[in-house]
């Protein structure tokens, strides 16, 4: 057996990555911890908190992910792929207005499902090249989607791509504020916003019920006193 061949069979190493098995396990634990913390608490959690959740030292975390941007890129790569796919699916809809409305709802639902991703969609990470490339791809597809929806006469002519960004910022705020206290509040916000974007003749979906006053009260308490309401 040649030395080169023997190196591929060294115990404790994974052939596909070349990382020691324990290092690969640490990476998986870090990603799982970051996904959980970002989804439940948003991107404001510290790298030290991620290390504690993963059960590794800060030095181990730094070896795997030297910057927050690298960690964010790894955690949200699949979600950004889904975000880009939402545009592709909307563009494939034979009814451009229906595709546009479906895209808006789908992206806001992604935000509602993951507080961290709600933040990612309203922030930029210049060092996370892959993440930003997918964002750019999705943005250009969205511009095409907006143009097609306007062509139906159902989307207002004064609607701009900036309005999508404003909606995502507003929805992120609602998602982060309401949390588990009133988790479906975002649906009513999105429905109201779609009505504001539509021309008088546009077919619009029914307006979801408003959250119960007690649920909104719990959400307000949650804002002033972070933690379970």
Give how far Cα 143 sits from Cα of 99, 125, 137, 138, 139, Å.
13, 21, 10, 9, 6
**pLDDT value at residue 226:** 54
157 within a domain of the structure (yes/no): yes
Compute the distance between CA of residue 220 and CA of residue 229 in angstroms, rounded to an integer.
9
Residues 92 and 205 in one domain: yes
- Same domain, yes or no: 180 and 111: yes
Same domain (yes/no): 140, 188: yes
List, as one string, the DSSP characters of 5-72. HHHHT-TTB-TTT--BHHHHHHHHHHHHHHHHHHHHH-TTS-HHHHHHHHT--HHHHHHH-SSHHHHH
11, part of any domain: no
Based on the fold, state whether residues 143 and 100 are members of the same structural domain.
yes
Please indicate, yes or no, whether residues 125 and 220 belong to a single structural domain of this protein.
yes
pTM of the model: 0.77
> Is residue 119 included in any domain, yes or no?
yes
CATH number at residue 25: 1.10.10.60
pLDDT at residue 22, rounded to an integer: 80
Residue 167 and residue 215 share a domain: yes
- How many domains does one find in the chain? 2
Same domain? 54 vs 102: no
Is 101 found in the same domain as 42?
Answer: no
Q: Would residue 61 count as lying in a domain?
A: yes
Q: Which of 5, 37, 66 is the last residue of a domain?
A: 66
If you compute the radius of gyration of the chain from its CA atoms, what whole number of angstroms results?
A: 21
Cα 168 to chain center, whole Å? 10
Q: Are residues 34 and 126 in the same domain?
A: no
Whether residue 43 lies inside any domain: the answer is yes
Residues contacting residue 79 through CB under 8 Å, at least 6 positions apart: 110, 114, 117, 120
Comparing C-alpha atoms, which of 48, 40, 32, 31 is closest to residue 176? 40
14 DSSP 8-state letter: -
13 — phi, psi (to 5°)? -120, 145
Distance between CA atoms of residues 34 and 19, nearest Å: 20
Say yes or no: 96 and 41 in one domain. no
CATH number of the domain encompassing residue 113: 1.10.357
Range of the domain at 47: 16-66
**From the first residue on, what is the mean pLDDT of each consecutive set of 10 residues in the chain (229 residues)?**
43 52 86 90 87 91 87 87 93 97 95 86 81 88 96 97 94 90 95 97 93 92 65
How many C-beta atoms surround the C-beta of residue 141 within 10 A?
18
Is 4 inside any structural domain? no
d(Cα 186, Cα 184) in Å, to the nearest integer?
Answer: 5
- Residues 183, 112 share a domain: yes
Of 128, 122, 133, nearest in space to 176 by CA: 122
7 occurs within a structural domain:
no
131 touches 72 (CB < 8 A): yes
Has residue 8 been placed in a domain?
no
121 with 62, same domain: the answer is: no
- 3-state DSSP assignment of residue 213: helix
């Amino acid at each position: 057996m040649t030395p080169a061949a023997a190196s591929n069979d060294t115990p404790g190493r994974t052939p596909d990555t070349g990382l020691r098995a324990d290092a690969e396990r640490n990476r998986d634990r870090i990603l799982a911890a970051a996904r959980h913390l970002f989804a439940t608490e948003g991107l404001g959690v510290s790298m030290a908190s991620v290390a504690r959740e993963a059960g590794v030292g800060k030095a181990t975390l730094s070896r795997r992910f030297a910057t927050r941007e690298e960690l964010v890129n790894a955690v949200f790569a699949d979600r950004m792929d889904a975000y880009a796919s939402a545009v592709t699916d909307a563009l494939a809809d034979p009814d451009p207005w229906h595709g546009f409305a479906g895209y808006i709802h789908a992206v806001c639902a992604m935000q509602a499902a993951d507080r961290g991703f709600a933040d990612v969609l309203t922030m930029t990470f210049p060092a996370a090249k892959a993440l930003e490339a997918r964002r750019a791809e999705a943005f250009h597809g969205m511009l095409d989607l907006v143009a097609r929806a306007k062509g139906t006469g159902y989307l207002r002519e004064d609607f701009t791509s900036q309005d999508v960004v404003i909606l995502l910022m507003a929805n992120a705020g609602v998602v982060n504020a309401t949390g588990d206290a009133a988790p479906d509040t975002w649906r009513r916000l999105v429905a109201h916003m779609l009505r504001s974007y539509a021309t008088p003749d546009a077919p619009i979906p029914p307006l979801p019920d408003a959250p119960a006053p007690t649920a909104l009260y719990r959400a307000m308490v949650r804002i002033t006193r972070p933690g379970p309401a």
